[in-house]
Structure 1
Amino acid sequence: MTRKSATASIEVGVDPLIAFQAFTEEIGQWWVPGPINAWDSARAVTKRIEPGVGGRFLEVYDDTTGDALELGRITVWEPGARLVYRSSVDATEVDVRFEAIDSGTRVRVEHYLLPGGEVGEGSLFWPNVLHWLESWCARRDAATSPEPRQLARLSAALYYEDPAAAARWLAKVFGLTSWDRIPAEGAQPSWIELHVGNVAVLLFPLAGKRSADEPVTHEMWVYVDDLDAHHARATGHGATIVSEIQQHGYRAYTARDLEAHQWTFIQASPAMP
């Protein structure tokens, strides 16, 4: 009988031993924080994998006291080749393999249901998060340690008829970034999270079509390091400029995105981190 499983693979530009090290020792660096990426996001501060067979995969709540949730126990530990852990929170197992290729390493994960087990929708989650490792391996040599990967205390939500297209446009034209990834052409994820610094901008699908006389009421204000360069980037990509750069005690300009939300970009002060 074929077991229920979900698989994914990525290619990273480092050798298998480094890829294994990045996956295990640096998981706290590349695991994306957020309200749906933890068992208890209100308490979670990082993820950690203890080395060797019998080591634990942990969601850490307090480094001082050692308070943590055991997510799994390692059953296979072969640095540069393979890692397997059995979940401690549901009836699944995760098998991660590292294969040398010309460009570096192919990392393949299989997340599968154990015989006789039952899990809810979304439990076989590893194929949905493996690509976070890919982006980490691409920047790990230049990254500061530790990276500022905690979300701010305020997030904003915007609704679009096509959130995926909006995400691509906002990344290209306004320079918004993602700790996850920008959806590719044809992809329609239900949850898209972009970032300005550590502030999350959440993009959700609009219910139905926005009527021609329905105003778009939400406006974003974003502080940028170089207002003139940002204005040049936006105009170079064809953004509609509502008001050019002006001085009002602050220097700012306003532009519309592809679905008519207005964005005001302001020159950040030297005192603003």
Structure 2
Amino acid sequence: MTELSATATIEVPVDPATAFRIFTEEVDLWWVRGPINFFDAARATAMQLEPGVGGRFLEVYSLPDDVLVLGTITDWEPGVRFAYRSSVDDTETEITFAAEGDGTRVTVVQALVTGGSKAFYFWKNVIHWVPQWIARRSAAPSTPRELGRLAVALYYADPAAAARWLHTVFGLDSWTSIPAEGTTPSWIELNVGDCSLILFPRTDTRPPQHDHSTWIYVDDLDAHFAHTQQSGAKILSDIHQHGYRRYETEDLEGHHWTFAQARPTQ
């Protein structure tokens, strides 16, 4: 049975008018360009929100007129709220901006319309990109942040638990957010530099295959090895060198990982 609604909330350290402007005018800058963050990632070149009632929420492709209309704006009150009716599922979404201390609480409510049956509740994953953009926007280039051409997909029985473990033990981070205990996001992306590590649920009962390994270059291999070892991860080989320094370890569900020393210029 499809859930009737989904709510997500963030707090950002700017006033409501600024938060509204960043959310709407800079959507193409804070929207993470991961391989599974668009309806058609192979063609997407931009995200766009046209201001005012009747404006469109767009996934833009190569040509100016080649777009996917994600929704149409139904309410527009700068600094307070806006809402849109989805064109890709049977939901309505309202985003509100309320003063909270010295900042703003941004709340997204995505709800199934009466008689509707299809809902893509993606905002609970997407909204966390906004405060990460605000934290770096003063020093960031005014161009969208692109992911590298390498992406690795790993399959886990519990991707959220795996993401927390990989974050705590291996120090991997995310442009989005590390899922909290008790949450089960529909997709999880971790990031190593500009590359994406995508965690998916494993749908069969076979153990992870050991015919592959994820390689990550780190700045301080000795410190990374010490932290991994102290965190209780299974070490498959200590630090050794054969052209490059590396060690091998295993995560909580048996995937093999190789960590290697990065070059000074890498």
TM-score range, shorter chain: 0.7 to 0.9
- Residue of structure 1 equivalent to 2:116: 118
- Residue of structure 1 equivalent to 2:249: 255
- Residue of structure 1 equivalent to 2:98: 99
Query: Normalising by structure 2, what TM-score?
Result: 0.83
Structure 1 residue 45: Cα displacement: 1.9
Distance in 2 of aligned mates of 1:69 and 1:262: 39
1:261–1:47: structure 2 CA closer, same or farther, 3 Å change rule? same
Alignment of 1:135-214 (within 5 A): 135-150=132-147, 152=149, 154-206=150-202, 207-208=204-205, 210=207
- Residue of structure 1 equivalent to 2:79: 80
- Secondary structure at 2:183 match in 1: coil
Distance in 1 of aligned mates of 2:177 and 2:31: 13
- Residue of structure 2 equivalent to 1:30: 30
Deviations 1:132-184 (A, max 9, x none): 324333443344433533352x4323233433222111112212122332121
The amino acid of 2:216's aligned partner reads V
Deviations 1:4-31 (A, max 9, x none): 5433322222211121122111211222
**Is residue 269 of structure 1 aligned with residue 263 of structure 2?**
yes
1:228–1:142: structure 2 CA closer, same or farther, 3 Å change rule? farther
- Residue of structure 1 equivalent to 2:44: 44
Distance in 1 of aligned mates of 2:209 and 2:64: 51
- Residue of structure 2 equivalent to 1:109: 108
Structure 1 residue 96: Cα displacement: 1.2
- Residue of structure 2 equivalent to 1:68: 67
The amino acid of 2:86's aligned partner reads S
1:124–1:268: structure 2 CA closer, same or farther, 3 Å change rule? closer
Distance in 2 of aligned mates of 1:166 and 1:144: 32
Deviations 1:101-159 (A, max 9, x none): 114111122223445x5342x3343344323324333443344433533352x432323
1:94–1:166: structure 2 CA closer, same or farther, 3 Å change rule? closer
Structure 2 alignment gaps of length 5 or more: none
1:161–1:126: structure 2 CA closer, same or farther, 3 Å change rule? closer
2:236 to 233, 239, 242: 242
1:229 to 210, 223, 226: 223
1:174–1:73: structure 2 CA closer, same or farther, 3 Å change rule? same
- Secondary structure at 1:221 match in 2: strand
Distance in 2 of aligned mates of 1:144 and 1:238: 39
Distance in 2 of aligned mates of 1:20 and 1:69: 23
Distance in 1 of aligned mates of 2:94 and 2:80: 11
- After superposing on structure 2, the runs of 4+ consecutive aligned residues of structure 1 that deviate more than 4 Å are none
1:271–1:198: structure 2 CA closer, same or farther, 3 Å change rule? same
Query: Normalising by structure 1, what TM-score?
Result: 0.81
1:190–1:110: structure 2 CA closer, same or farther, 3 Å change rule? closer
1:6–1:160: structure 2 CA closer, same or farther, 3 Å change rule? closer
1:128–1:254: structure 2 CA closer, same or farther, 3 Å change rule? closer
Structure 1 alignment gaps of length 5 or more: none
- Secondary structure at 2:61 match in 1: strand
- Secondary structure at 1:100 match in 2: strand
Could you tell me whether the CA contact under 8 Å between 1:160 and 1:204 is conserved in 2? Answer: yes
